[in-house]
C-alpha cells in the first residue's frame, strides 16, 4: 500500500488508524468535576497558584453557554461526562527513543516520527494522550539557548518566563473551550527562542490520541524574543473509535520586536474527533506571525487562528486549507486584530468540500479607531466537488477611519467541465483530471508548506478524490 | 405564561394604542383585522433583540426604544404641507401623511382601461381582497426583525397598492409619498406591488419627515411580486428626520424569468435598519438589489440582506454602497443562500464603503451558504478612502482638491444610480442624493 511508504506521517488518515493496548499508571477517571482538576494538578505536583487557576477556569467553563447561537448544533453532541480527562504513564518525557516504553514507541515508529527527526527536525516532542512520551532537542540548538520542553516541564523549570506570558494572549474566559483547556490542560510545548537566534530547522510536536472517549487538552506557549525566528510544526492522529473524542488545545504565540514565528499545523484526526482549538499570537513591533493551517481530519473542527497586531508595522498572516469529506465539518478561519499603526494582515483560505462534507470560513478583521496605514487582504475560495457538498462563508470586517484599507473577496465554484474535458482529451481519467484540478486549486498555498508536507498533501488529495467522481 | 409584563416589551404600542388603531380601521375585512390581532400578539410576546442575536451583530441595541411614540397621530392637511413632487411629468402619485391619504393623482388618462390599479391599500382590501390576501406581508421575516415586522403588520393603517395585469406595461413611473409630522409620530407605511405575468412597472417610494427637528418612529415595508416574465423597478428614498428610528422591510418574489430591480437610497433617520429579502422562486428569475447610503453625523445604517436561490438557473446581483462621513456607522450583513436544487445559480454580492472621515465606522458581514456545486457565487467587500491616484489625476488636470473629491464621490454614487433606466427619475434622485451629500 502506498501509505506504507509514506515518508511523512500525519496526513494520510489510514496511516493513523491503529491502536496498541496501553496500561496507564495515571488516570483521572471519567467525567469532569473539581476532583478531576485536583487530581491532574497533584500528579503534576503543581504549585497552589496553578491549582487555583485551574479551579477558576473550571467555573468559567461551567458558566459559559455553548456558543450554538452562531456555531453548529453538533457541539451539543459532546458529552463532557463521558470523557476521560487525563491518562498517562508518567509525567517525565524520555530523552531518547530507547527509553520510551515499547508500545508507545511502536506507535510513533509506525507514524515515522523518529525517522523524520533524524532527517530534518531541530527538535521533537511526541505527546501520547495527556503527556509527552518523548521530548528532545538537538544539542546544537539547545546550545543557542533555545528551550523546547513540554508545558509541565516549562512550568517547573522556567517559571519566570512561563508565568509572564501564560494565559496573556488567550485569557481563560476567551471562550468555553479555552476555559475547559485552562482547567484540565496537560502536555503541549513550551518554546523560548532567545534574542537574535534563528532556529534553522523546524521544531516539531506530534500529538497522538490512543484511548477511546479521551479528551486531549494540550497547551502550547511559544515565545520568540527580539529578532528571533522559529518554525514550529504540529501533526496529529487518532485511531477511529465508534465514540467521539475531544481535542481542545490552547496555543499562545508571542513574537517580540522583530521576531518571526511560523506555526504549521497538519490536522488529521480521525473523523470522530471534535477538534475545538483556540490559537492566537501577539505580534509586537516589526514582528511577523504566520499560521499555516491545514485541516483534513476530524468530525468537527472549529479553529480560527488569530494575530493581535500590537506593535507598529507588525504583520499577520493566515494561510488555510480545509478539506471536508462525508460526515465532516471544517469550520475554520482567521482573526486579525489590528492594534497599532501601519500593521498589515493577509488571509488566504481555500476549502474543498467533497461528498456531503461541509466547509465553513469564519473570519474577523478589526481595525479600531484612530489607527492609520493598516491594511488587510482576505481571499476565500471554496471548491464544491459533488452536487450535495456544502460551503459557507461568514466574514466580519470592521474598519474605522479613512486612513486604512481592507479588501475581502470570496468565491464559490466547482471544477470547470472544460478543464476536465481538456485533460481527459489528453488521456487522463476523470479521477486523475479531478485530482489535478483540485491540486491546482490549492497549489499556491501548498507551496508554502515544507516540501515533505506539500508532496504528501497532493498525494492525499488524490486519495480523497478517488471516490468522488462519477 | 409570560413573566414579563406585556407593556415593557411593547413600549408606546400598548393594547390600548392597538385598540385605538383597530377602531380606525374597523371597516376593513375581518380576515385582515384577525391577522392584525395575531400580529399584535406576536409583537408583544417577542423579546427585544439581544446582543447574542447574530442578526443584530454590531447594531446599537441600547437606542432601539419603543417608548415616547404616538401610534395614532392626528391628521394633516395637504395644503399646509411642503410637498416636493416626483419630478416626472404626468406620473401618478399617492401622498400619505401620518398614515392617511392626503392627496392622490390618478394615472395618466392613456392608461385608463389597461386594468392597472393604483389605489390605497384600504381600498384594495375592500375591492380586491383576494389579491391583497395572497401577497400582502405573505413572506416570513427572516433577517432578525420578527418583532418589528409584527408591529408593522399590527399597526399598518394604509399604504399604496399597485397592480399591473398580465402583459400590460405601465409606461410612467408612479410616486408614493409617506410623510410623518408632529413630535413622536409613529408611521407604518406600506407599498404592495403586484406585477402579473409579463407586466412591467416602475414605482418610486419616498419617506420624509415634515420637519427636520422632530423625532419619529417609522416602521414600513414593501412587498414586490413579479409574475412570470414580469419586470418590476422599485426605488425608495428614505429621508426621515435625523431623530427618527426607522425600520424598513422588503420582501421580493421573482417568478420564472422575472426581473426585479430594487434600489434603496438612505439618507435620513438617527438609526435606520433595512432588511431586504429576495426569493428567486423559479428558473430564470433575477433580482438586482442596490442600495446607496449617505451617512452623516452619528447616524447608524444597519442593512441586512438575503438572496435566496430556490430554483436552478436563477441570478442575483447585490451592490450596496455606503459613503461615511463624520462619526457615522454602517453595517452591511448579507447572505446568499443557494438551496440544494438551485444548480447553475449565479449570485453576486458586493459592499463598498467609502470612508470620508477618520471617525466613521464600517462593518461588513458578507456571507454565503451554498448547498449546490454547479454555481458561481462571489462576494466582495472593501472599505477605503477615495483612490489617491484618481484624485491626483484630476488635480493634475487643474481641478481643485475639493471639486475633485466631490467628482469622485459622485462617481461612486453613479455606479448605483446609473442602473435606473428612466431618465427623469434618475435625474431627480441624483439631485436629491447630491443635496444630501452636501448637507
pLDDT in tens, B172-189: 899 999 999 999 999 999
Cα separation, B4 vs B24, in Å, equals: 29
**Residue B5's pLDDT is what?**
42
**Residue B129's pLDDT is what?**
96
Sequence-separated (6 or more) residues with CB below 8 Å from residue B343? A387, B312, B313, B372, B373, B374, B375
Q: Is residue A215 included in any domain, yes or no?
A: yes
**Residue A4's pLDDT is what?**
33
**Residue A279's pLDDT is what?**
98
**Residue A263's pLDDT is what?**
96
Q: Is residue A334 included in any domain, yes or no?
A: no
Distance from CA of A362 to the nearest CA of B (A): 9
End position of a domain, from candidates A279, A303, A327: A303
**Residue A303's pLDDT is what?**
97
Region of B126 (left: φ > 0; alpha: ψ -120 to 50; beta: rest) is alpha
Q: What are phi and psi of B87, to 5 degrees?
A: 85, 15
Shortest CA distance to A25 belongs to which of A106, A103, A98?
A: A103
How many CA atoms lie within 13 Å of B374's alpha carbon, on the beta-carbon side? 10
Q: What is the ipTM of this complex?
A: 0.88
**Residue A12's pLDDT is what?**
57
Contact by Cβ (8 Å): B231, B200:
yes
Contact by Cβ (8 Å): B165, B128:
no
End position of a domain, from candidates A303, A331, A350: A303
Q: Is residue A160 included in any domain, yes or no?
A: yes
Region of B434 (left: φ > 0; alpha: ψ -120 to 50; beta: rest) is alpha
Q: Is residue A235 included in any domain, yes or no?
A: yes
Q: Is residue A467 included in any domain, yes or no?
A: yes
Q: Is residue A2 included in any domain, yes or no?
A: no
Asked whether the predicted pLDDT for residue A352 surpasses 90, the reply is yes
Q: What are phi and psi of A4, to 5 degrees?
A: -65, -30
Task: Determine whether the interchain pair A410/B368 forms a contact, defined as Cβ–Cβ distance below 8 Å.
Answer: yes
The overall average pLDDT reported for chain A is 90
Kindly state whether residues A139 and A266 are assigned to the same domain: yes
Percent over 70 (pLDDT), chain A: 95
Task: Determine whether the interchain pair A387/B360 forms a contact, defined as Cβ–Cβ distance below 8 Å.
Answer: no
Q: What are the residues facing A247 on neighbouring strands? A: A216, A275
Contact by Cβ (8 Å): B272, B248:
yes
- The count of other CB atoms within 10 Å of the CB of residue B181 is 20
Task: Determine whether the interchain pair A413/B367 forms a contact, defined as Cβ–Cβ distance below 8 Å.
Answer: no
| N-terminal to C-terminal alpha carbon distance within chain A | 24
**Residue B23's pLDDT is what?**
96
**Residue A451's pLDDT is what?**
75
**Strand blocks (E) in A44-163:** 87-88, 123-128, 131-137, 147-150
**Residue A2's pLDDT is what?**
33
Cα separation, A146 vs A284, in Å, equals: 20
Cα separation, A366 vs B115, in Å, equals: 54
Contact by Cβ (8 Å): A149, A131:
no
Sequence-separated (6 or more) residues with CB below 8 Å from residue B231? B195, B199, B200, B201, B258, B259, B260
pTM of the model: 0.91
Residue with cell 391583497: B132
**Residue A8's pLDDT is what?**
36
Cα separation, B97 vs B85, in Å, equals: 14
Cα separation, A222 vs A192, in Å, equals: 6
Sequence-separated (6 or more) residues with CB below 8 Å from residue B23? none
Contacts of A386 in chain B (CB under 8 A): 373
Which position has the higher pLDDT, A237 or A336? A336
Task: Determine whether the interchain pair B355/A407 forms a contact, defined as Cβ–Cβ distance below 8 Å.
Answer: no
Residue with cell 403588520: B153
Kindly state whether residues A280 and A148 are assigned to the same domain: yes
**Residue A469's pLDDT is what?**
59
Contacts of A397 in chain B (CB under 8 A): 362-365, 381, 383
**Residue B377's pLDDT is what?**
92
Work out the average pLDDT over A84-98.
Answer: 89
**Number of domains present in the structure of chain A:** 2
**Strand blocks (E) in A90-228:** 123-128, 131-137, 147-150, 189-193, 203-208, 215-216, 219-224
Contact by Cβ (8 Å): A122, A200:
yes
Asked whether the predicted pLDDT for residue A308 surpasses 80, the reply is yes
Residue of A nearest to B329 (CA): A400
Contact by Cβ (8 Å): A382, A361:
yes
Task: Determine whether the interchain pair A69/B54 forms a contact, defined as Cβ–Cβ distance below 8 Å.
Answer: yes
Angle between helix A430-446 and helix A451-466 axes, rounded to 10 deg: 150
**Residue B237's pLDDT is what?**
96
The confidence band for A444, taking pLDDT boundaries of 50, 70 and 90, is confident
Asked whether the predicted pLDDT for residue A468 surpasses 70, the reply is no
**Residue A21's pLDDT is what?**
80
**3-class DSSP state for residue B210?**
coil
Contacts of A391 in chain B (CB under 8 A): 368-370
- The count of other CB atoms within 10 Å of the CB of residue B397 is 8
End position of a domain, from candidates A264, A282, A303: A303
Contact by Cβ (8 Å): B385, A410:
no
Mutate which of A341, A353, A363, A410 to test chain B, going by most B C-beta atoms within 10 A?
A410
Which position has the higher pLDDT, A311 or A460? A311
Q: Is residue A352 included in any domain, yes or no?
A: no
Interface check for A91 against chain B (CB to CB < 8 A): the answer is no
Cα separation, A92 vs A98, in Å, equals: 15
Task: Determine whether the interchain pair B373/A370 forms a contact, defined as Cβ–Cβ distance below 8 Å.
Answer: no
The confidence band for A290, taking pLDDT boundaries of 50, 70 and 90, is very high
**Residue B2's pLDDT is what?**
40
What domain range includes position A65?
A: 10-303
Cα separation, B400 vs B393, in Å, equals: 11
Cα separation, A6 vs A456, in Å, equals: 8
Q: What are phi and psi of A239, to 5 degrees?
A: -70, 165
Distance from CA of B184 to the nearest CA of A (A): 32
Low-confidence ranges of chain B (pLDDT < 70): 1-8, 109-110, 112
**Strand blocks (E) in A368-404:** 375-384, 390-400
Task: Determine whether the interchain pair A399/B353 forms a contact, defined as Cβ–Cβ distance below 8 Å.
Answer: yes
Cα separation, B390 vs A229, in Å, equals: 41
Contact by Cβ (8 Å): A117, A148:
no
Work out the average pLDDT over A61-78.
Answer: 94
Q: Is residue A31 included in any domain, yes or no?
A: yes
Q: What are phi and psi of A256, to 5 degrees?
A: -75, 180
Amino acid at each position: 500500500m502506498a501509505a506504507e511508504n509514506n515518508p511523512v506521517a500525519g496526513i494520510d488518515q489510514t496511516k493513523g488508524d491503529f491502536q496498541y493496548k496501553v496500561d496507564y499508571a495515571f488516570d483521572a477517571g471519567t467525567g469532569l468535576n473539581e476532583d478531576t482538576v485536583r487530581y491532574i494538578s497533584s500528579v503534576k505536583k503543581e504549585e497552589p497558584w496553578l491549582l487555583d487557576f485551574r479551579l477558576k477556569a473550571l467555573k468559567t467553563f461551567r458558566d459559559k453557554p455553548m456558543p450554538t447561537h452562531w456555531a453548529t448544533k453538533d457541539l451539543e453532541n459532546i458529552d463532557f461526562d463521558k470523557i476521560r480527562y487525563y491518562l498517562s504513564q508518567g509525567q517525565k518525557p524520555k530523552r531518547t527513543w530507547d527509553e520510551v516504553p515499547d508500545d508507545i514507541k511502536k506507535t510513533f515508529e509506525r507514524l515515522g516520527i523518529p525517522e523524520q527527526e533524524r532527517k530534518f527536525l531541530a527538535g521533537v516532542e511526541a505527546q501520547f494522550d495527556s503527556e509527552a512520551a518523548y521530548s528532545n532537542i538537538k544539542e546544537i540548538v539547545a546550545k543557542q539557548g533555545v528551550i523546547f520542553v513540554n508545558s509541565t516541564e516549562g512550568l517547573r523549570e522556567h517559571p519566570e518566563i512561563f508565568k509572564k506570558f501564560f494565559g496573556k494572549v488567550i485569557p481563560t474566559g476567551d471562550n468555553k473551550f479555552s476555559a475547559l483547556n485552562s482547567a484540565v490542560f496537560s502536555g503541549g510545548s513550551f518554546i523560548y527562542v532567545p534574542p537574535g537566534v534563528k532556529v534553522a530547522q523546524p521544531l516539531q510536536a506530534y500529538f497522538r490520541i490512543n484511548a477511546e472517549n479521551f479528551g486531549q487538552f494540550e497547551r502550547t506557549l511559544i515565545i520568540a524574543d527580539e529578532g528571533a525566528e522559529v518554525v514550529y510544526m504540529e501533526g496529529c492522529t487518532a485511531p477511529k473509535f465508534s465514540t467521539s473524542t475531544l481535542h481542545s488545545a490552547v496555543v499562545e504565540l508571542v513574537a517580540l520586536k522583530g521576531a518571526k514565528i511560523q506555526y504549521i499545523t497538519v490536522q488529521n484526526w480521525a473523523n470522530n474527533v471534535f477538534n475545538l482549538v483556540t490559537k492566537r499570537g501577539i505580534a509586537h513591533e516589526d514582528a511577523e506571525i504566520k499560521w499555516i493551517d491545514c485541516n483534513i481530519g476530524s468530525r468537527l473542527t472549529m479553529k480560527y487562528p488569530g494575530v493581535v497586531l500590537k506593535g507598529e508595522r507588525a504583520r499577520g498572516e493566515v494561510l488555510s486549507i480545509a478539506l471536508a469529506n462525508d460526515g465532516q465539518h471544517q469550520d475554520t478561519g482567521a482573526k486579525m486584530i489590528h492594534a497599532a499603526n501601519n500593521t498589515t494582515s493577509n488571509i488566504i483560505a481555500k476549502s474543498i468540500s467533497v461528498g456531503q462534507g461541509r466547509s465553513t470560513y469564519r473570519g474577523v478583521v478589526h481595525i479600531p479607531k484612530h489607527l492609520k496605514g493598516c491594511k488587510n487582504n482576505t481571499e476565500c475560495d471554496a471548491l464544491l466537488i459533488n452536487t450535495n457538498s456544502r460551503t459557507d462563508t461568514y466574514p466580519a470586517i470592521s474598519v474605522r477611519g479613512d486612513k486604512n484599507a481592507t479588501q475581502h473577496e470570496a468565491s464559490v465554484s466547482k471544477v470547470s467541465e472544460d478543464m476536465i474535458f481538456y485533460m481527459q482529451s489528453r488521456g487522463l481519467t476523470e479521477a486523475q483530471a479531478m485530482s489535478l484540478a483540485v491540486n491546482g486549486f490549492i497549489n499556491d498555498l501548498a507551496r508554502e508548506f515544507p516540501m515533505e508536507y506539500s508532496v504528501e498533501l497532493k498525494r492525499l488529495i488524490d486519495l480523497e478524490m478517488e471516490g468522488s467522481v462519477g | 405564561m409570560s413573566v414579563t409584563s406585556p407593556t415593557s416589551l411593547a413600549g408606546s404600542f400598548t393594547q390600548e394604542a392597538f385598540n385605538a388603531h383597530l377602531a380606525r380601521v374597523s371597516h376593513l375585512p375581518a380576515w385582515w383585522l384577525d391577522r392584525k390581532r395575531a400580529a399584535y400578539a406576536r409583537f408583544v410576546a417577542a423579546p427585544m433583540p439581544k446582543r447574542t442575536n447574530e442578526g443584530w451583530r454590531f447594531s446599537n441595541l441600547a437606542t432601539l426604544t419603543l417608548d415616547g411614540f404616538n401610534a395614532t397621530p392626528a391628521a394633516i392637511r395637504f395644503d399646509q404641507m411642503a410637498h416636493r413632487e416626483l419630478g416626472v411629468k404626468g406620473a401618478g402619485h399617492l401622498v400619505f401623511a401620518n398614515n392617511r391619504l392626503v392627496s392622490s393623482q390618478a394615472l395618466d388618462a392613456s392608461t385608463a382601461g389597461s386594468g392597472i390599479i393604483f389605489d390605497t391599500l384600504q381600498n384594495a382590501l375592500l375591492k380586491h381582497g383576494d389579491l391583497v390576501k395572497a401577497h400582502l406581508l405573505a413572506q416570513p421575516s427572516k433577517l432578525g426583525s420578527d418583532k418589528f415586522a409584527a408591529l408593522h403588520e399590527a399597526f399598518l393603517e394604509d399604504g399604496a397598492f399597485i397592480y399591473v395585469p398580465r402583459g400590460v406595461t405601465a409606461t410612467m413611473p408612479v410616486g408614493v409619498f409617506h410623510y410623518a409630522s408632529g413630535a413622536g409620530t409613529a408611521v407604518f407605511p406600506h407599498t404592495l406591488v403586484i406585477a402579473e405575468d409579463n407586466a412591467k412597472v416602475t414605482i418610486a417610494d419616498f419617506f420624509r419627515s415634515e420637519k427636520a427637528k422632530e423625532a419619529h418612529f417609522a416602521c414600513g415595508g414593501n412587498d414586490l411580486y413579479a409574475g412570470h416574465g414580469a419586470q418590476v423597478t422599485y426605488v425608495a428614498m428614505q429621508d426621515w428626520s435625523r431623530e427618527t428610528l426607522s425600520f424598513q422591510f422588503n420582501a421580493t418574489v421573482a417568478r420564472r424569468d422575472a426581473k426585479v430591480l430594487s434600489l434603496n437610497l438612505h439618507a435620513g433617520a438617527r438609526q435606520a435598519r433595512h432588511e431586504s429579502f429576495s426569493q428567486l422562486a423559479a428558473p430564470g428569475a433575477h433580482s438586482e438589489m442596490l442600495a446607496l447610503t449617505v451617512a452623516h453625523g452619528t447616524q447608524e445604517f444597519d442593512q441586512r440582506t438575503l438572496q435566496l436561490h430556490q430554483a436552478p438557473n436563477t441570478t442575483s446581483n447585490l451592490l450596496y454602497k455606503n459613503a461615511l462621513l463624520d462619526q457615522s456607522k454602517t453595517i452591511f450583513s448579507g447572505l446568499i443562500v443557494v438551496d440544494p436544487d438551485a444548480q447553475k445559480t449565479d449570485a453576486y454580492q458586493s459592499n463598498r464603503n467609502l470612508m470620508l472621515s477618520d471617525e466613521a465606522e464600517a462593518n461588513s458581514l458578507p456571507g454565503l451558504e451554498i448547498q449546490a456545486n454547479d454555481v458561481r457565487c462571489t462576494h466582495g467587500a472593501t472599505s477605503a478612502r477615495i483612490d489617491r491616484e484618481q484624485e491626483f489625476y484630476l488635480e493634475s488636470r487643474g481641478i481643485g482638491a475639493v471639486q475633485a473629491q466631490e467628482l469622485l464621490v459622485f462617481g461612486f454614487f453613479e455606479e448605483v444610480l446609473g442602473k435606473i433606466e428612466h431618465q427623469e427619475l434618475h435625474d431627480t434622485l441624483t439631485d436629491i442624493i447630491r443635496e444630501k451629500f452636501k448637507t
